A and B are shown apart, each in its own frame.
Chain A
Amino acid sequence: MYQFNYQKAGSADEAASAVSSAEDGRFLAGGMTLIPTLKQRLAQPSDLVDLADVNDLAGVSDGGDSITIGAMTRHVDVATSNVVQSKIPALASLADNIGDPQVRNRGTIGGSVANNDPAADYPAAVLALNATVITNQREITAEDFFDGMFTTALEDGELITAVRFPVPDKAGYAKFPNPASRYALVGVMVAQTGGETRVSVTGAGQDGVFRAAEIESALSGSWSADAAKGVKMSDDGLNADIHASAEYRAHLISVMASRAVDAAG
């Protein structure tokens, strides 16, 4: 790692101003991506501002027809939250299958969403559930938030404080994990909320998470695993690497979508 300055912030405002006033400041949440990135010298921030002591950024609150999850809420705490398990079980199960137990003990929803890794799980949930990303400055809809691989609508010094998920009528998530990293080779979330069907795909797209309009229209016609599986996805714009070709990923999208429908019930 290159050298950097480290400080712990006591509040969201303090963290935001520390990052803004640094030469090249970065927020440090769980560090499950940032620290490996620093270790490989793929980034060289001047300052890390640790959010661990900002207590009001962590926790789940039940808003009736929505739940709000603080940005510093760890994957293990989302997975085991009674509120998440009862209101959006698909989200609890998604969190319970991120990485491994040690990663889930550190990694946070805010960190994952801000990083927008094209193979991360949470972006699929944010997009399919039509969640709202809440920052220290504004609220951003899922549609406007994700802006391509590792890119979001966040401005410099803008900090995610929470993510608000409307409670769906039904939702399910299925992923085909990379056997080593557990990142999604392809992950699909399907959701029905107030008559609207949304299907999002992570792990597959060259521009990160995206909605699969073909599967959405198939499921709007008939909410069934067979309807999802019957859609033949194009491999245009899909990733190809040593783990899977674009064609294979296209195939997996329909298969994962059908499993997600099964999981949603």
Chain B
Amino acid sequence: MPTVSMTVNGKSVSADVEPRTLLVQYLREHLGMTGTHVGCDTSQCGACVVHVNGESLKSCTMLAAQAEGADVTTIEGLANGDELHPMQEAFRENHGLQCGFCTPGMVMSALDLVQKNPDPSEREVREWLEGNLCRCTGYHNIVKSILAGAQALKG
């Protein structure tokens, strides 16, 4: 089996995997990092969103082999020890989750938005979340959280 190596949350990792291994399987099953979720498995729900080379994408729709040599950030890479990342803190403060299943993808997607658009409007947040589904339909507080997180990150 080919060896696939990349950097995940600042750490070099490597695993021997079949070519058909998805990036999300590589993260969850080979590295044991289960913060990235598989919701729909049909590329629609966005629970599996991670950053690859600084951009958000769906890790269930990318082969691990395609991420060879890449710099990957997952939800596990955000907090600083016990101190939550400001976007995570904003989700906590604003009750931006109900069951929490979609939250890792929502947070990672939100961070890609604010790096492109540091001061998004509510409409821009809602449009950006096109690729992230919340089965609890908790969008209202998710949007509130992202707006608050964006302000916190602006400092």
Question: Which residues of B have CB within 8 Å of A52?
Answer: 66
Contact between chains at A36 and B43 (CB < 8 Å): yes
Nearest CB to that of B49 among chain A residues?
A102
Nearest CB to that of A50 among chain B residues?
B66
Question: Which residues of B have CB within 8 Å of A5?
Answer: 19
Question: Which residues of B have CB within 8 Å of A106?
Answer: 57-58, 61-62
Nearest CB of chain B from residue A102's CB, rounded to whole Å: 5
Contact between chains at A182 and B130 (CB < 8 Å): yes
Contact between chains at A3 and B19 (CB < 8 Å): yes
* Given A101-B130, A102-B56, A106-B62, residue A3 in contact with residue B20 (CB < 8 A): yes
Query: Which of the listed residues B42, B46, B56, B57 has the most CB atoms from chain A within 10 Å of its own CB?
Result: B57
Bound together, the chains give a CA A181 to CA B45 distance in angstroms of 10
Nearest CB of chain A from residue B42's CB, rounded to whole Å: 6
Contact between chains at B63 and A35 (CB < 8 Å): yes
Q: Which of B18, B44, B65, B113 contacts A180 (CB 8 A)?
A: B44
**How many A residues face the partner with a CB closer than 8 A?**
27
Contact between chains at A36 and B42 (CB < 8 Å): yes
Contact between chains at B63 and A6 (CB < 8 Å): yes
* Given A1-B20, A3-B18, residue A100 in contact with residue B63 (CB < 8 A): no
* Given A3-B19, A6-B2, A6-B19, residue A103 in contact with residue B56 (CB < 8 A): no
Contact between chains at A102 and B19 (CB < 8 Å): no
**How many B residues face the partner with a CB closer than 8 A?**
29
Q: Is A99 an interface residue (CB 8 A)?
A: yes
Q: Is B112 an interface residue (CB 8 A)?
A: yes
Bound together, the chains give a CA A105 to CA B55 distance in angstroms of 7
Question: Which residues of B have CB within 8 Å of A28?
Answer: 66
Bound together, the chains give a CA A118 to CA B46 distance in angstroms of 24
Nearest CB of chain B from residue A261's CB, rounded to whole Å: 24
Contact between chains at B55 and A100 (CB < 8 Å): no
16 further interface pairs, Cβ-Cβ under 8 Å (given A32-B43, A35-B22, A50-B65) = A28-B66, A32-B61, A35-B61, A35-B62, A36-B42, A39-B41, A100-B131, A101-B56, A101-B112, A102-B56, A102-B131, A103-B131, A106-B57, A106-B58, A106-B61, A182-B130
Q: List 23 A-B contacts (CB under 8 A).
A: A2-B20, A3-B18, A3-B19, A6-B2, A6-B63, A8-B68, A31-B61, A35-B43, A35-B63, A38-B20, A39-B60, A52-B66, A99-B131, A100-B46, A100-B132, A101-B130, A102-B49, A102-B56, A103-B58, A106-B58, A106-B61, A181-B44, A182-B130
Query: Which residues from chain B sit less than 8 Å from chain A, CB to CB?
Result: 2, 18-20, 22, 41-44, 46, 49, 55-58, 60-63, 65-66, 68, 109, 112-113, 128, 130-132
